[in-house]
Amino acid sequence: MIRHGSSRESAGGAHRLAPVRVSLRPTHAKTRDAPTRKSANRRVVPSRAVAQQRFRVWFRKGERVRYISHLDVLRSWERSIRRAGLPLAYSQGFTPHPKIAFAGPLPLGFMSEAEIMDVTLDERVDPGDFERRLAAESTEDLAIVGVEEVPMTSPQPQASVAWADYEAELPGVEIAAAKTTIGAFLDATEFPWTEQRGEKVRSYDLRDVVARLEVKPEGGGVRLAMRLRANQEITGRPEQVVAALFPGVDVEVYRRTGIVLDEPSPAREAWRRKGQYAS
């Protein structure tokens, strides 16, 4: 969006308005004076301080933004963090990048209730203050639903993802038939499946990808809830589950409702080191 600021350039005593580019802000953000041309063109140099603190943020992705890309979501959060005046940390090197890490990209067109993003700061901030300041600069389309401080030594969220939960409404499917189909699938020891996306074809055991399936009545059909594998080896896709079990059913929108992280447990690691092999 372009607006005219109050900057002046003198040429023979005459004055003219200079165009200034400003970024879009949430409607509730405080209005600030437009920057001059000199300040608008000044390059922001990221801080090179040592990272001091890390927050895990859960947020939703709403209907109006379900078709914006993963990169656009990252850029939107970076702008929100900077508007909030939070000391966002950047990587070193010739082209520094903000230290914002996501648990896993959400497929284009999907909505979500529980995306995960880790934000690293180069100065310590009170957790409550962090959440309030960032929430004030976020929008309903990308709204914060939870914040938690995590250790700096914690694995990156994308490397820790184990499972992802999804929901989909299946119109025209009867609850009794759905339960029968799901029961037969869960009782199977394997379910060979071939998935084709563009020119890429992959074959795998779909049963091994699915941890849980549940259905309940919803309008003129059913709502299918599923927990699918989402680790470094394979990522299950809900639309493939629907295609395999309910061929021909048209789903309007898929919704991710949760992400399960396989985080390290000190007690479990101690058991693996000692208890499991104790004589």
Number of H helices, E strands in the chain: 8, 12
Residue 72 clears pLDDT 70, i.e. is over it: yes
Q: In terms of CATH architecture, what is 159-261?
A: 2-Layer Sandwich (3.30)
Who wins on pLDDT, 18 or 155? Answer: 155
Q: How many CB atoms lie within 10 A of CB 116?
A: 21
| pLDDT for position 94 | 87
Residue range 166-186: mean pLDDT, rounded:
97
Q: What is the mean pLDDT of the chain?
A: 84
Q: Return the domain boundaries, the chain.
A: 53-154, 159-261
**Interatomic CA distance for residues 237 and 226, integer angstroms:** 10
53-154 and 159-261 in the same fold: yes
Paired tokens of 69: 């890309």
Q: Which fold has domain 53-154?
A: Alpha-Beta Plaits (3.30.70)
Query: Six-digit token pair at 90?
Result: 């950047």
Average pLDDT of span 184-213: 94
Count Cβ atoms within 10 A of the Cβ of residue 38 and give its class: 0-12 exposed, 13-18 middle, 19 or more buried. Answer: exposed
DSSP type of residue 155:
P
Task: Report the alpha-carbon distance of residue 39 to residue 203 in Å, rounded.
Answer: 55
Strand partners, 88: 121
Q: Which pLDDT score, from 0 to 100, does residue 90 have?
A: 94
Q: Is the model's pTM score more than 0.85?
A: no
* pLDDT given for residue 199 in this prediction: 87
**pLDDT tens, position by position, 117-164:** 999 999 999 999 999 999 999 999 999 999 999 999 999 999 999 999
For tokens 């802000």, name the residue. 25
Per-residue pLDDT tens digits for 200-220: 899 999 999 999 999 999 988
In the structure, what pLDDT confidence band is assigned to residue 104 with cuts at 50, 70 and 90? confident
Give the pLDDT band of residue 233 (cuts 50, 70, 90).
confident
